[in-house]
């Protein structure tokens, strides 16, 4: 043993506060270790190590178990204790509470609780190691290496691109050699979500439409089965995307229509899954200007585009055996002499006319044209994602993405995917009731807001989009409520969340295994 192993608690449960000297000494070691521990079934029973925890405890002749019991009651879910100097290869060991041992799918919560517990615990443990400025951390797979990797990679992610003083980079690695494939899969899923988080968090003067497109193109450059088209404004005009263009023309920043073809399917002509994402790189509201407080968050109004494009980058990295097309109309929504004015009427690609009663309901205008275009590819399914309505946040908050779909087949796949990822979905209605509220319009075929203004705002927005869909398997994901994280998701730090990228990837993976409707 290198030093007297003083336990101390990050959760404030036991032990002394970290001293400066401790931090320096710990930082000098080679790597940190994160180990899981289950709570006992009975309240006062001894906690149970994972197999990696058991093995480590044997290696240090039972010292870890001894120290833990000296620290007080067994570790609760999500709580951690850190020990220094137990083993020369791992100068700092964070033990994290995993909750009860055989937690599986929780039918009330609609997620796999065991996986969620692992993600949360590993994320906390890794962050503790990062605080000690240790550059490398080995992570206990905790019986599910994919979930552990997701917790580690998501938990350590932070946007500090534009700060001079950055947090130390910590590279998480699997502890032990079993389950390395599952670990790598988890890393890939989490990196996908982190890409969406990066794009959403970045300021709007850094991620303009063209910069967004170039960033995604660069991520896809190495894949020979991917083609990226960065369509300029002239192309958008020839496509007669009048609704999209009407929003874009209010800004000095030119719009882009990003089109990605990922051909992973057995045949290049297999019917594709088409993803469509709202790509408003900044939403000021336009002439119907938003209040200035909190407006900065509207840099993430391209979250739909960010999550679907990141899901395709991830699908390519995983080499998923299906064809996916990604479409992202990208522009800013700004007030100017050229901007849409309330009451203006514009014409979408399918010929439908739209009265723009509120210029802040711009996302549906972009999506109307992109959804029309999506049908050119004879898709097996169309899935769009958009930070579409504040009303979605009012309805569900950040608990789940709202899904409006005309297909129970599609719903089942999305739902089952979300139970695994923990990034949940909840089905919402597409009633005719709401359609009537957008088709009753004085000057045009459709109004871009519901006639009862705020009531059921997420549903009237979905009903509006439905007017541009003829595909029999379509789902609209309103992700406004899950756009950012305060502290609700314990394995994501505060900031833009990149949700539900992992659910989209898992959904695509499931679709690739389902032969229904591929031709
Ligand atoms: N991008 C916003 C929706 C939004 C709000 C996303 C908060 C994320 C967080 C969208 O373009 C918008 O402003 N929608 C309006 C629609 C209304 C005018 C019918 C809204 O929700 O207020
Ligand atoms: Zn808006
Ligand atoms: Zn918007």
Cα 73 vs. chain centroid, distance in angstroms?
Answer: 36
Measuring from atom 22 of ligand 1, which residue has the nearest CA?
390
| pLDDT tens digits for range 462-502 | 999 999 999 999 999 999 999 999 999 999 999 999 999 99
In this prediction, residue 26 carries a pLDDT of: 43
Per-residue pLDDT, averaged over 374-398, amounts to 98
d(CA 203, CA 493): 18
Q: How far is the CA of 92 from the centre of ligand 1 (A)?
A: 46
pTM given for the model: 0.94
pLDDT band at residue 17 under the 50/70/90 scheme: very low
User: Closest ligand to 458 CA?
Assistant: 1
| pLDDT tens digits for range 322-354 | 999 999 999 999 999 999 999 999 999 999 999
User: Alpha helices of 35-178 — where are they, by DSSP H?
Assistant: 51-59, 63-70, 113-131, 145-156
Residues around ligand 3, an ion, CB closer than 5 A? 280, 283, 301, 363
Q: Which of 275, 253, 444, 478 is nearest to 343 (CA)?
A: 444
| pLDDT tens digits for range 265-283 | 999 999 999 999 999 999 9
Q: How far is the CA of 360 from the centre of ligand 3 (A)?
A: 7
Give percent above pLDDT 70 in the chain: 93
User: Closest ligand to 334 CA?
Assistant: 2
Cβ proximity of 360 and 301 under 8 Å: no
70: buried, middle or exposed (CB in 10 Å: 19+, 13-18, 0-12)? exposed
Per-residue pLDDT, averaged over 453-469, amounts to 95
Token pair listed for 247: 């929003």
Measuring from atom 16 of ligand 1, which residue has the nearest CA?
361
In this prediction, residue 468 carries a pLDDT of: 98
Q: How far is the CA of 324 from the centre of ligand 1 (A)?
A: 28
Instruction: State the Cα angle at 286 between 404 and 231, rounded to 5°.
Output: 70
Measuring from atom 5 of ligand 1, which residue has the nearest CA?
390
pLDDT band at residue 2 under the 50/70/90 scheme: very low
In this prediction, residue 517 carries a pLDDT of: 59
Give the active site residues.
290, 364
* Strand pairing report for 381-386 and 474-478: parallel
Per-residue pLDDT, averaged over 193-217, amounts to 98
pLDDT band at residue 401 under the 50/70/90 scheme: very high
Q: Is the pLDDT of residue 416 over 70?
A: yes
> Residues with Cβ within 6 A of ligand 1?
283, 301, 358, 360-363, 387-391, 393, 449, 457, 480, 483
Q: Is the pLDDT of residue 40 over 90?
A: no
Of all atoms in ligand 1, which is nearest to the CA of residue 288? 18
Measuring from atom 3 of ligand 1, which residue has the nearest CA?
389
Q: How far is the CA of 197 from the centre of ligand 3 (A)?
A: 17
Sequence-distant (6+) residues with CB within 8 A of 327 are 257, 258, 259, 260, 274, 275, 276, 277, 370, 373, 374
Give percent above pLDDT 90 in the chain: 88
Of all atoms in ligand 1, which is nearest to the CA of residue 360? 13
Q: Is the pLDDT of residue 519 over 70?
A: no
In this prediction, residue 431 carries a pLDDT of: 98
Q: Is the pLDDT of residue 1 over 50?
A: no
Q: How far is the CA of 333 from the centre of ligand 3 (A)?
A: 8
160: buried, middle or exposed (CB in 10 Å: 19+, 13-18, 0-12)? exposed
d(CA 207, CA 193): 17
Q: Is the pLDDT of residue 163 over 70?
A: yes
Pocket test for ligand 1, best of 335, 360, 452, 477 (most atoms within 8 A of CB): 360
pLDDT band at residue 126 under the 50/70/90 scheme: very high
pLDDT band at residue 45 under the 50/70/90 scheme: low
């Amino acid at each position: 043993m290198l030093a007297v192993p003083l336990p101390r608690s990050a959760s404030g449960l036991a032990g002394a506060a970290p001293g400066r000297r401790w931090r320096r000494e710990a930082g000098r070691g080679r790597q940190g270790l994160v180990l899981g521990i289950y709570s006992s079934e009975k309240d006062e029973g001894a906690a149970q190590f994972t197999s990696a925890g058991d093995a480590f405890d044997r290696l240090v002749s039972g010292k870890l178990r001894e120290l833990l019991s000296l620290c007080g009651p067994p570790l609760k879910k999500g709580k951690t204790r850190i020990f220094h100097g137990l083993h020369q290869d791992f100068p700092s060991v964070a033990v994290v509470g995993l909750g009860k041992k055989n937690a599986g799918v929780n039918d009330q919560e609609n997620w796999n609780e065991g996986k969620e517990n692992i993600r949360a615990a590993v994320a906390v443990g890794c962050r503790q190691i990062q605080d000690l400025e240790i550059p490398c951390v080995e992570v206990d797979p905790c019986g599910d290496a994919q979930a552990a990797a997701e917790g580690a990679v998501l938990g350590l992610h932070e946007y500090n691109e534009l700060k001079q003083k950055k947090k130390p980079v910590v590279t998480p690695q699997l502890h032990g050699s079993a389950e390395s494939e599952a670990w790598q899969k988890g890393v890939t899923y989490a990196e996908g979500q982190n890409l969406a988080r990066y794009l959403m968090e970045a300021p709007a003067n850094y991620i303009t439409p063209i910069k967004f497109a170039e960033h995604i193109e660069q991520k896809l450059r190495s894949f020979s089965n991917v083609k990226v088209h960065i369509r300029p404004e002239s192309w958008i005009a020839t496509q007669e995307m009048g609704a999209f263009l009407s929003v874009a023309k209010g800004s000095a920043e030119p719009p882009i229509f990003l089109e990605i073809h990922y051909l992973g399917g057995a045949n290049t002509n297999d019917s594709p899954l088409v993803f469509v994402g709202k790509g408003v790189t900044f939403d000021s509201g336009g002439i119907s200007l938003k209040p200035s407080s909190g407006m900065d968050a509207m840099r993430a109004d391209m979250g739909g585009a960010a999550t679907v494009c990141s899901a395709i980058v991830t699908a390519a990295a995983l080499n998923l055996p299906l064809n996916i097309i990604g479409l992202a109309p990208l522009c800013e929504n700004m007030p100017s002499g050229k901007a849409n004015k309330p009451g203006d009427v514009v014409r979408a690609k399918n010929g439908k006319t739209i009265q723009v009663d509120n210029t802040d309901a711009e996302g549906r205008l972009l999506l109307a044209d992109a959804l029309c275009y999506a049908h050119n590819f004879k898709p097996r399914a169309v899935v769009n994602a958009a930070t579409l309505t504040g009303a979605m946040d009012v309805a569900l908050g950040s608990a789940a993405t709202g899904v409006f779909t005309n297909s129970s087949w599609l719903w089942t796949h999305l739902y089952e995917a979300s139970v695994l990822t923990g990034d949940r979905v909840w089905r919402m209605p597409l009633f005719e009731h709401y359609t009537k509220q957008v088709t009753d319009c004085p000057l045009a075929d459709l109004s871009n807001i519901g006639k009862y203004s705020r009531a059921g705002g997420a549903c009237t927005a979905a009903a509006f989009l439905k007017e541009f869909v003829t595909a029999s398997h379509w789902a609209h994901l309103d992700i406004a409520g899950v756009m950012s994280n305060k502290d609700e998701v314990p394995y994501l730090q505060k900031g833009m969340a990149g949700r539900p990228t992992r659910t989209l990837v898992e959904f695509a993976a499931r679709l690739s295994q389902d032969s229904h409707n591929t031709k």
